[in-house]
Amino acid sequence: MKNNELITQDELQEERLFNSSLGRRSFLQFAGASAAGIALMAAGCKKDRNYGDVSMGATLDFKDDFGVLNYAYALEQLEAAFYVKVASAPPSSFTTAQKAYFQDIQFHEVAHREFFKNALGTAAIGSLEVDFSSIDFTNATSVLGAAMAFEDLGVAAYNGAGVRIKSTDYLVLAGKIVSVEARHAAYIRDIISNGTFADLASLAPLGAVNANGLDGALTPDKVLAIAGKYVKTKINVINL
């Protein structure tokens, strides 16, 4: 880090956790060799792409799989930023177990984010600026409500994006991640109200079909419209 570079307390906390042995271990166990393989594919096929500068906003180009991967990367940035903030200073009413679980979820989301960032290489969009002003991080109800919203939306986003993925390797990857997001969603829902983890009827607005036991699925435009409340960076969508 450059001496004249200004970073926030949340970024300092994230740097510490990611440099810790647990942070590194969590990422390496999740990513493994597959991340390197996807990164090589991205570098070999898309050397002309460089979306790192988001000063004019971030562009998600859905003409190919890289647009879908960047879409997932954007959502994982949002989730990781949220959980890093919660884990660094959880609400005082959180139990010891809840604090531990939110730490674990934090590592999962940071691992997801870093996986996409490294896999996409120069094809990755830059870091998004988030806006959590509507969340009271000192209040457990506010934090849990936001966590449920993020997790439920994340599951619907991956489910809705699956049809756009052409590569079977990427599709398998998305399936592995969405299953983890669903575990998070189930846990958060049970903290809020025990036994509601399987309440698909309440997820009808996200596309769930309770009668068929199907979880939600939303198209990227609908997901981004909902997530936009928490993102300051303008996200441009083309070829959707």
Indicate which CATH number applies to the domain containing 220: 1.20.1260.10
Whether 121 contacts 43, CB under 8 Å:
yes
Residue at 187 is within a domain: yes
Helix intervals (H) in 121-139: none
Residue at 1 is within a domain: no
Question: pLDDT value at position 199?
Answer: 84
Show the low-confidence residues of the chain (pLDDT under 50): 1-7, 17-48
Question: pLDDT value at position 14?
Answer: 53
Residue at 49 is within a domain: yes
**E strand or H helix at 74, and its extent?**
helix 65-88
Q: How many domains does the chain have?
A: 1
Residue at 203 is within a domain: yes
Q: Is 133 exposed, middle or buried (0-12, 13-18, 19+ CB in 10 A)?
A: exposed
Residue at 2 is within a domain: no
Residue at 3 is within a domain: no
List 183's β-bridge partners, or say none.
none
User: Can you give the residue range of the structural domain that contains 226?
Assistant: 9-238
44-61, pLDDT tens digit by residue?
A: 444 445 555 555 689 999
3-class DSSP assignment, residue 1: coil
**E strand or H helix at 25, and its extent?**
helix 21-45
Question: pLDDT value at position 196?
Answer: 82
Residue at 226 is within a domain: yes
Residue at 178 is within a domain: yes
DSSP 61: E
List 214's β-bridge partners, or say none.
209
pTM, two decimal places: 0.80
Separation CA 185–CA 196 (nearest Å): 10
Tokens linked to 37? 């393989």
Q: How many residues does the chain have?
A: 240
